[in-house]
Amino acid sequence: MNLSLLILVPLLTAIALLLVKGLKQVRTVALIGSAAQLILCFVLFYFYQQARANGNTANFLFEDNYTWYAPLNINYHIGVDGISISMILLTAFVVMAGVLVSWKMERLNKEFFFLLIFLSLGAYGFFIALDLFTLFFFLEVAVIPKFLLIGIWGSGKKEYSAMKLALMLMGGSALVFVGLAGMYFYSDVNGAHSFDLIQIANMNIPVEVQKIFFPFAFIGFGIFTALFPFHTWVPDGHSSAPTAASMFLAGISMKLGGYGCLRVATYLMPDAAHEYSTIIIVLACIAILYGAFATMMQTDLKYINAYSSVSHCGFVLLGIGMLTKTSIDGAVMQMVSHGLMTALFFAVIGMIYDRTHTRQVAQLGGLMKMMPFISTVFVIAGLCSLGLPGFSGFVAEMTVFMGSWEKADAFYRIATIIACASIVVTAVYILRATGKAIMGPTVNDEHLSLGDAGWNEKLAAGLLILGIIVIGIVPFLLKDLINPGTELIMQKMGAAIGR
Partner 1 sequence: MVNDFLILMKQELVITFIIFVLLFVKLSNKETKNETLINFVNILLTLNLASGFFMSREGDLFGDMFHTSELLTLEKNLLNLGTLIISLQSYNWLKDHKHVPEFYILMLSTLLGMFFMISSNNLLMFYLALELSTIPLAALANFDLEKRRSSEAAFKMIISSAFSSGLLLFGISLVYGTTGTLNFIELRGHSTVIGMITSFTSTPLNIFAFILLIAGFGFKISAVPFHLWTADVYEGSPVAVTSYLSVISKGAILFVLVSVLNTVFSPLNGMSEIWYNLLFIISVLTMIIGNLFALRQQNMKRFLAFSSIAQVGFILIGITGQSAEGSASVIYFVLVYIFSNLAAFGVINLISAVTGRENVDDYKGFYKTNKGLAWVLAIALFSLGGIPPTAGFFGKFFLLLAGAGKGNYLLITIAALNMVVSLYYYLRIIKVMFMDANEDPIENVKAGWSPKLAMIICIGGIIITGLASGAYNYIYSLVK
Q: How many residues form the binding site for partner 1 (CB under 8 A)?
A: 35
Contact 262, 331 (CB under 8 A): yes
Of residues 189-228, those binding partner 1 (CB under 8 A): 212, 216
Closer by beta carbon to partner 1, 147 or else 303: 147
Binding mask 48-87 toward partner 1 (x if CB under 8 A, else -) reads --------------------xxxxx---------------
- How many separate helices (H) and strands (E) can be counted in the chain? 23, 2
Closer by beta carbon to partner 1, 161 or else 324: 161
Nearest to 321 by CA among 361, 264, 283: 283
The CA distance from 181 to 177, in Å, is: 6
Closer by beta carbon to partner 1, 76 or else 93: 76
The CA distance from 3 to 61, in Å, is: 10
Q: Which residue in the set 156, 171, 390, 494 belongs to the binding site for partner 1 (CB under 8 A)?
A: 171
Kindly report the number of other CB atoms within 10 A of residue 324's CB atom.
Answer: 18
Of residues 176-195, those binding partner 1 (CB under 8 A): 177-178, 181-182, 184-185
The CA distance from 232 to 26, in Å, is: 34
- N residues, the chain: 499
Using alpha carbons, list the distances in angstroms from residue 436 to 279, 367, 433.
Answer: 38, 9, 5
Contact 330, 319 (CB under 8 A): yes
Q: Which residue in the set 63, 64, 159, 487 belongs to the binding site for partner 1 (CB under 8 A)?
A: 159
Q: Which residue in the set 15, 39, 58, 174 belongs to the binding site for partner 1 (CB under 8 A)?
A: 174
Q: Is 242 in the site for partner 1 (CB under 8 A)?
A: no
Stretch of 85-93, 150-158, 341-349, 427-435 lying at the interface with partner 1 (CB under 8 A): 150-158
Q: Which residue in the set 8, 36, 51, 137 belongs to the binding site for partner 1 (CB under 8 A)?
A: 137
Nearest to 319 by CA among 138, 482, 143: 482
Closer by beta carbon to partner 1, 19 or else 408: 19
Strand partners, 288: none
Stretch of 170-178, 255-263, 287-295, 373-381 lying at the interface with partner 1 (CB under 8 A): 170-178
Q: Is 127 in the site for partner 1 (CB under 8 A)?
A: no
Kindly report the number of other CB atoms within 10 A of residue 74's CB atom.
Answer: 20
Q: Is 406 in the site for partner 1 (CB under 8 A)?
A: no
What residues contact residue 313 under an 8 Å CB cut-off, 6+ apart?
225, 226, 254, 257, 258, 287, 338
Q: Which residue in the set 133, 233, 267, 303 belongs to the binding site for partner 1 (CB under 8 A)?
A: 133
Nearest distance from C-beta of residue 152 to partner 1, angstroms: 6
Q: Which residue in the set 41, 78, 143, 423 belongs to the binding site for partner 1 (CB under 8 A)?
A: 143
Nearest distance from C-beta of residue 248 to partner 1, angstroms: 18
Closer by beta carbon to partner 1, 178 or else 207: 178
The CA distance from 4 to 62, in Å, is: 10
Please report how the helices 207-224 and 158-186 are oriented relative to each other, as an axis angle in degrees rounded to 10. 160
What is the phi/psi pair of residue 161, to 5°?
Answer: -65, -40
Nearest distance from C-beta of residue 5 to partner 1, angstroms: 18
Closer by beta carbon to partner 1, 158 or else 407: 158
Nearest distance from C-beta of residue 84 to partner 1, angstroms: 20
Q: Is 39 in the site for partner 1 (CB under 8 A)?
A: no
Stretch of 89-97, 142-150, 228-236, 301-309 lying at the interface with partner 1 (CB under 8 A): 142-150
Report which DSSP code applies to 205. Answer: -
Q: Using only C-alpha atoms, what is the Rg of the chain?
A: 21
Closer by beta carbon to partner 1, 147 or else 391: 147
Kindly report the number of other CB atoms within 10 A of residue 49's CB atom.
Answer: 15
Compute the Cα dihedral for 53, 58, 61, 64 and give only its sign.
negative
Nearest distance from C-beta of residue 285 to partner 1, angstroms: 28
Q: Which residue in the set 26, 29, 130, 162 belongs to the binding site for partner 1 (CB under 8 A)?
A: 162
Contact 238, 346 (CB under 8 A): yes
The CA distance from 478 to 331, in Å, is: 12
What is the phi/psi pair of residue 78, to 5°?
Answer: -130, 160
Q: Is 19 in the site for partner 1 (CB under 8 A)?
A: no
Nearest distance from C-beta of residue 177 to partner 1, angstroms: 5
Contact 385, 312 (CB under 8 A): yes
Q: Is 15 in the site for partner 1 (CB under 8 A)?
A: no
Q: Is 398 in the site for partner 1 (CB under 8 A)?
A: no
Stretch of 162-170, 262-270, 346-354, 382-390 lying at the interface with partner 1 (CB under 8 A): 162-170
Biggest CA pair distance of the chain:
74
The CA distance from 23 to 105, in Å, is: 8
Q: Which residue in the set 93, 124, 127, 147 belongs to the binding site for partner 1 (CB under 8 A)?
A: 147
Nearest distance from C-beta of residue 201 to partner 1, angstroms: 20
Where along the sequence are the contacts to partner 1 (CB under 8 A)? Answer: 68-72, 133, 136-138, 140-141, 143-144, 147-148, 151-152, 158-159, 162-163, 166-167, 170-171, 174-175, 177-178, 181-182, 184-185, 212, 216
